[in-house]
Structure 1
Amino acid sequence: MPEFAVFRTISFRLAAAYAVLFVVSVAAIMGAAYAFATSEIRGISEREILHDMAAFRSAYREGGGRELSLAVRERSEGAPGDSFYLLLDENGAFLSGNIPAELWREGWFEGRMGDAVVRQSQDLMDAAAMNTDGEVRLFSHGERLGNFRLLTGRNSHVLHETQEIMLGCLLLGCLAITIVALCGGYLITRGPVRRVNAIAGLTHQVVSGRLAVRLPITANGDEIDRLSADINAMLARIEALMESLRQVSTDIAHDLRTPIARLRQRLDLLSRRPPEDRAEFTSGIEGAIEEADTIIETFNALLRIAQVEGGARRARFRTLDLAEVAERVCDIYRDVAQDAGHRLEAEIEDQVFIEGDADLLTQLLVNLVENAINHVPEPSLIVMSLRRAEGEALLCVGDNGPGVPEAERERIFRRLYRLDRSRSTPGTGLGLAMVAAIAELHGASVTASDNAPGLALQVAFPLSVTR
């Protein structure tokens, strides 16, 4: 992914959205501060102007026009550099004050005074000289008192300058925040983008058939690490399934070739057998049917394993007592084992509760017991044990037969895999593969170990948390 593509990522868009939200929030806060400060400064000027107007009204009421003119003259002569006064007669002629008569406006007024007007008043020129830009802005209130026109005002240049400064700070602050947020979003996004690119590159390798690749996991433990771990687990699962598929295809080609060849041979002999030899003809037909049943049984077993591995039976899980299932299987197969010349014993703890499918667990136990009965020479002792240990239910079926070489103990759980000495015994080589599939569906682990002598097959189930 090129660098400019970072700007199209969800992470950068999210960072940009947060930047916009932050800028809007800051603008709203600074805008509120601007409005509050403007209102407060203007309010101070308004209160001063209204206070002066109240004093002039009082003077007019007490002494008429003479007292009013005297009050305006005194205020004008002692006024600070930002206070302005004007008194006109009824014809608009100048009576007293410190600003030109042409500035009279009735009511509230605010505006910038031109240079020609400023030069007509020494107080206005002094006020202009106090400002760096030489500007004077008049904020005034004029009203009529009898036959007189009275105006009181202040230089609002400070208010205007404050507004400009706050607006400039607002714009510069928003611009700076936007730049910092976008640059920060870009820098922060680059790391996750590189890791996402690694995931995308790995998926391309997987599509090309390289299932052994894995994503690196950092020590951060963040969501990308968790995603990488899940992807690695998924790839490991896919790799195992593909390996299982290849193994099944190979085993089917080897193990089913013999019964299919025997079936064809029987049918070929029957096609050449004279019709009058009915006894041999019937025997041949029965043998062909038996070979066909073996092939059908093998494929049905493969389908059952595929269904179990697909997880469709998980919906039937419930809390059950594995001890009851084990006792029932032992009761059924005790006589079967005796007829085969073996002895089946049970060492089962009471009330071992797990989450599972009773039918599948019964199938698992049956397969373990039948595996021992069919592949252990008589007479042998077969022991089924069940106990609780460290949060697990440990189910074990052990015998005192010849056992399985250590190098082949992991292979016996593969589909259609059979030891050389077991190829003469009945079976499809799918019993322990079914055990492994059912155990995996239940979140259990199955292992084969030395029983000294013999073989011990152990399945460790997680105990139910509801009991």
Structure 2
Amino acid sequence: MIASLKRQVAAIWNSIVFRLALHYSALLLLVLVIVLTILYTQTVGVMQRRIDQQLEYNAYRLQQHFEQYGQAALSHDISRMLEDGVSSDSEIYALWDDRQRPVAGNVTDPVLLDLPQERITEIPVYHHNGRSLSRVVVRRLSDGSTLAVGHDMRDQRALETLIAEASLSAGAIALLLTIGGTLMFRQLLEARVAAIRRTAARIEAGDLSQRIPASPQDDEFARLTRDINMMLDQIERLMDGVRHVSNTIAHNLRTPLSRMLARLRTAEHDPAQRDDAIRFVIREIEDLSIVFDKLLQIAEVESGARRQAFSKVDVNTLVLDVLDLYGAVAEEQDATLTHTLDPDAVLDGDRDLLASATANLVDNALKYAGRHARVHVATRQVDGRLTIAVQDNGPGIPAHERERVGTRFYRLDRQAPGYGLGLASVIAIAHLHGGELHLADAAPGLIATLDLPAKKDA
């Protein structure tokens, strides 16, 4: 049982939530102790200073009264002050003649005669209310008489005790509240963290569909929950993409490999077909090499490694180079290539990748629009964004298919040549540059727009 208790205590102490709450509570408790200490010292100190000032003033006044009017007048003045009913219970006055015989006052304790002159001393004094701790100042008068003026500190000490006890009680209550608050704070945070841990455990077990339950409160944990869930959504999409790519690669490899194997087996038994079989296998291997090159390019772009090679890119020159490259293709299929260029079209990026993305869009436009196609490329820079729009007059893409055409190996028209990697490459290049690819209906045709951040002015 003791071992179990030790484990529970160790678990609580090892909790960073508990230590954080404990440190914060200890800081609050320290502040409370400092405040109570200042309150105590200031209250008691101010009252004592006021008493000392009053003693000094009364002693000085009585001494001056003696110098002007003599001992009899001073004796009468002391008797009057003791009988006026103002602080009579706490006032101490005593007057001795030059032979140390009591003349007036409410104290006859001869110990006062031995006190040091001109400074206040705190000693026990016997007077009409009994023995009590008092603060006394003694003055030697010009005729050898001795004057003592004091104040009974009984009420002051009672107040000090009351303040001290109240401070201790407040400290004890604060300590209990601190311990209780620390445990409650730990329990509340542990409940919020436990939801994250449970979800993480299920995901670790292989269930990528698990998400942290959303909280109705818009606090730090709620925002953290949203961020983690968004991250999990992205991880699930990436894992689905990896599975899709793996399955598609396996499918796309199996077909050409089967064709190559069939041709080679035929050539093995028919030497006359050997040369044709070799040429066929070479073409198939070249096609597979293109597929893997494109996959490697997409992987390199998605890794962000090419971002280090960013530099200033004149997009208009890039577009004109791409259009010049496809000029012969357009002429062969009686297509028309036109352009509208914004003179300020400049951004930071990788020129080769941006040229590849633009070439992919132009190639798709010519491929799917067919003969007599009209392809228009426009650049525009506004509000810190730069767009490269490629518009054709072909059949376009149905709205429900536009999200899928960017998936690797997905082809809307299986009869058309290609591998289904073009738009996937364009999307990866757009994301590398902090942009997006948007597909919209041109009625007729399609508008494919690369939306990218423009170069910031230095």
- Give the TM-score category using the shorter length: 0.7 to 0.9
How many equivalent pairs are there?
Answer: 440
Return 5+ residue gaps in structure 2 as ranges: 1-7, 83-87
Is this contact kept in 2: 1:448–1:456, CA < 8 A?
Answer: yes
Report the CA distance between 1:407 and its aligned residue. 4.8
1:56-67 → structure 2 map (5 Å cutoff): none
Query: Relative to structure 1, is the Cα distance of residues 190 and 390 closer, same or farther in structure 2, using a 3 angstrom cutoff?
Result: farther
Please report the RMSD computed on the Cα atoms of aligned residues, expressed in angstroms.
Answer: 3.9
Deviations 1:86-123 (A, max 9, x none): 4567887666543243543413432445xxx5xxx5x2
Counterpart check, 1:457 vs 2:452: no
Q: 2:132 aligns with which of 136, 145, 150?
A: 136
Aligned-partner SS, 2:129: helix
Counterpart check, 1:436 vs 2:427: yes
Distance 2:219 2:158 in 1: 51
- Quick one: which amino acid aligns to residue 434 of structure 2? G
Report the CA distance between 1:272 and its aligned residue. 5.7
Deviations 1:370-409 (A, max 9, x none): 2334455434333333445777544333434444555544
Deviations 1:45-77 (A, max 9, x none): 3334334544665677789xxx65884576257
Is this contact kept in 2: 1:375–1:422, CA < 8 A?
Answer: no
Return 5+ residue gaps in structure 1 as ranges: 126-134
2:56 aligns with 50
Is this contact kept in 1: 2:78–2:104, CA < 8 A?
Answer: no
- Quick one: which amino acid aligns to residue 234 of structure 1? M
Is this contact kept in 1: 2:341–2:378, CA < 8 A?
Answer: yes
- Quick one: which amino acid aligns to residue 137 of structure 1? L
Distance 1:167 1:283 in 2: 107
TM-score (norm 1): 0.77
Counterpart check, 1:101 vs 2:92: no
Report the CA distance between 1:82 and its aligned residue. 1.9
Distance 1:109 1:406 in 2: 99
Aligned-partner SS, 2:434: coil
Deviations 1:131-153 (A, max 9, x none): xxxx7322223466686665432
Deviations 1:186-225 (A, max 9, x none): 6667655543332333222322233333345556544333
- Quick one: which amino acid aligns to residue 92 of structure 2? F
Deviations 1:169-198 (A, max 9, x none): 333344444555665666667655543332
Aligned-partner SS, 1:421: coil
Percent of aligned pairs with the same amino acid = 29
TM-score (norm 2): 0.79
Report the CA distance between 1:9 and its aligned residue. 5.9
Q: 1:326 aligns with which of 306, 319, 328?
A: 319
Deviations 1:292-350 (A, max 9, x none): 23222222211111111122223334554433322221122112322355333334444
- Quick one: which amino acid aligns to residue 250 of structure 1? N
Query: Relative to structure 1, is the Cα distance of residues 317 and 405 closer, same or farther in structure 2, using a 3 angstrom cutoff?
Result: same
1:110 aligns with 122
1:283-298 → structure 2 map (5 Å cutoff): 283-298=276-291
Q: 2:90 aligns with which of 60, 77, 82?
A: 82
Report the CA distance between 1:257 and its aligned residue. 1.1
Report the CA distance between 1:367 and its aligned residue. 1.2
Report the CA distance between 1:461 and its aligned residue. 3.1
1:315 aligns with 308
Q: 2:165 aligns with which of 168, 175, 192?
A: 168
Aligned-partner SS, 2:414: helix
Aligned-partner SS, 1:413: coil
Distance 2:199 2:79 in 1: 85
- Quick one: which amino acid aligns to residue 75 of structure 1? I
Distance 1:181 1:296 in 2: 69
